[in-house]
Amino acid sequence: MEQHIDKYDVVVMGGGPAGYAATMRAIDLGKKVMLIEKNKIGGAGVYNGALTSKTMWELSQKVSTINRSLYKAGRRRLDITWEDVKETEKDAIFEKKFQYSSHLKMLQAKLKDSFSYVRGRGKMLSPHEVEVLCKDGTEMIVKTENIVIATGSSPRTLPNIQVDEDVILTSDGIHHINDFPRSLVIVGAGVIGCEYATMFSNFGKTKVYLIDKADRILPFEDNDISDLVDANLRKNGVTIHRQSSLVRLEKIDDEVEYELAYEDGRREVIRVEKALLAVGRTPNIENIGMEEAGVMMSKRGRHIGDDDTQTNVPNIYAVGDVSGRIALVNMGELEARHSIEKMFGVAKDRLSYENVSSIMFLEPEVAAVGMNEKQCTEKNIPIKVVKIDFSVITRAIAMRKTQGFFKIIVTNDDEMKILGMRAIGEHASSAIQACALLIKMNTGIGELAELIHPHPSIIEGIQECVRMLMGKSVLKPSIFKDKLKCYSCVDGVCTPLQRL
């Protein structure tokens, strides 16, 4: 075995969003860094994750909007093929892949002595040694002061269900099928399951079934959010199996047969063309040298244990999906950058997970930051809540997209500090950043009330929300009772605030 021994300040294992971000932050700090990626740079974030699925969602939304308009006009619907979908995804992937690869090549040329990018599989041999089995067949052992584990995750499967990525699929295989399935059952009614149910039902070519163990989809969100998403899924023809347990799911004659048991004792057997498992993800930790380096798992044994990204081995860090905290690209990147700053003494504070912005690509789009109303109630936090329906926002009316609302939760005192916000509707993801900033700053709502928002824009609804809380809104909640709501919740009892 040929060994090339070199010494680095940090070796990053994994070239997904988290690993890539860690590498770039180490370069910022002038450190000697090696990035190792066994497969494709960008990882699942580009190929079988966020970019791919969201490209499909964007296309499905456009098709659905156009077809609704054509239907109202009595015209023939737009027909889009699965090849059209795959070609659109392929273009998006190529664009991001080209950015990544060009960026890395130019950095390698510019930073010959301080940056290396290696295609291959990395394995820790000790806390300071990483073995690399390169794609070209060569092998090397690299010495390093620090290691960042950013190996990502893979779709979780279920016992006794044989995934073949042809008939029974995960998110790794669903984008590689040959055509729209005539029928599809989705196991799991969390965010990912509901997103795929939204996409396939939007195209109008697939009968979708969604298996939900609970009595409502998205059970972690407030009822007004899950109810609206639920209603739109059913309007799109999705059948939701509520309070159901999956007894079996198996491939029979190149189709899928599944059996459900309900709480009332009923049993049901259904045949569909394909099945999609959307039951979470598991960290990629096999054969990366956990035992050799002495890195321990978390107490629950499902992810690598860490304290503010630092594992039990002081010079080894875990970021992104392997840390098991919040499996979002933005959080993986933030953890990665923080780990580099922490190992080199730049980080001033611990990483906070209290102010995470997220998007759920549903119908309509949902964006969230901070706590929701349900969480505040569970923690017995006195709050004030304000809601405004999209149907009174000028931009939403102009777009003919009046389904949705903004909801802002603040402390039940004179300061009215923002605890959280939920937005559901068109442009929802673009509307939460001002509230996210105020949550981070731990400040009240006064700035938002006086800020001049562009007109017409969706975010004008946020301004009207905070004006309602302050008793000086343009539209009065006592007049538009079904469109505007302003109330306080204390000890589980909600009372309308006395506003004109």
- Lowest-pLDDT range, 68-77, 218-227, 316-325? 68-77
Contact (CB, 8 A) for 256 and 250: yes
pLDDT digits (tens, 9 = 90+) for 272-300: 999 999 999 999 999 999 999 999 999 88
The answer, yes or no, to whether the previous bond of 456 is cis (omega within 30 of 0) is yes
**Close Cβ partners of 397 (under 8 Å, ≥ 6 residues apart):** 391
Mean pLDDT, rounded, for 25-47: 93
- Whole-Å CA distances, 48 to 44, 51, 277: 5, 8, 14
- pTM for this one? 0.93
Spatial CA neighbour of 321 closest among 11, 12, 10, 16: 16
How is domain 7-46+89-154+282-343 classified at the architecture level of CATH?
3-Layer(bba) Sandwich (3.50)
**Beta strands at 366-370 and 358-360: parallel, antiparallel or unpaired:** antiparallel
Is residue 468 within a helix (H) or strand (E), and if so which, with residue range?
Answer: helix 460-469
* In the chain, domain spans: 7-46+89-154+282-343, 168-279, 364-496
Mean pLDDT of the chain: 93
Contact (CB, 8 A) for 317 and 148: yes
**What pLDDT is attached to residue 445?**
86
- How many angstroms separate the CA atoms of 128 and 143, rounded? 6
Angle at 468 between CA 232 and CA 359, to 5 degrees: 35
In this structure, how many other beta carbons lie within 10 angstroms of the beta carbon of residue 471? 12
- How many angstroms separate the CA atoms of 419 and 408, rounded? 8
Q: Could you check whether 7-46+89-154+282-343 and 168-279 share the same CATH topology?
A: yes
Q: Which residue has the higher pLDDT, 353 or 95?
A: 95
Structure tokens at 277: 């498992």
Structure tokens at 105: 């090549």
Structure tokens at 15: 């070239």
Please give the sequence-ordered ranges of beta strands (E in DSSP) within 48-135, or none if there are none: 115-126, 129-134
Evaluate if residue 130 carries a pLDDT over 80: yes
How is domain 168-279 classified at the architecture level of CATH?
3-Layer(bba) Sandwich (3.50)
Contact (CB, 8 A) for 357 and 369: yes
Angle at 498 between CA 494 and CA 500, to 5 degrees: 135
DSSP for residue 49: S
Beta-bridged to residue 261, according to DSSP, are 245, 267
Beta-bridged to residue 275, according to DSSP, are 168, 185
- How many angstroms separate the CA atoms of 369 and 463, rounded? 17
Evaluate if residue 4 carries a pLDDT over 60: no
Q: What is the largest CA-CA distance in the chain?
A: 80
Looking at the domain 364-496, which fold is it?
Enolase-like; domain 1 (3.30.390)
Is residue 381 within a helix (H) or strand (E), and if so which, with residue range?
Answer: none
Contact (CB, 8 A) for 120 and 36: yes
User: Measured in Å, how far apart are the chain's first and last C-alpha atoms?
Assistant: 80
Mean pLDDT, rounded, for 231-245: 95
For residue 112, the one-letter residue type is K
pLDDT tier at 48, thresholds 50, 70, 90: confident
**What pLDDT is attached to residue 237?**
96
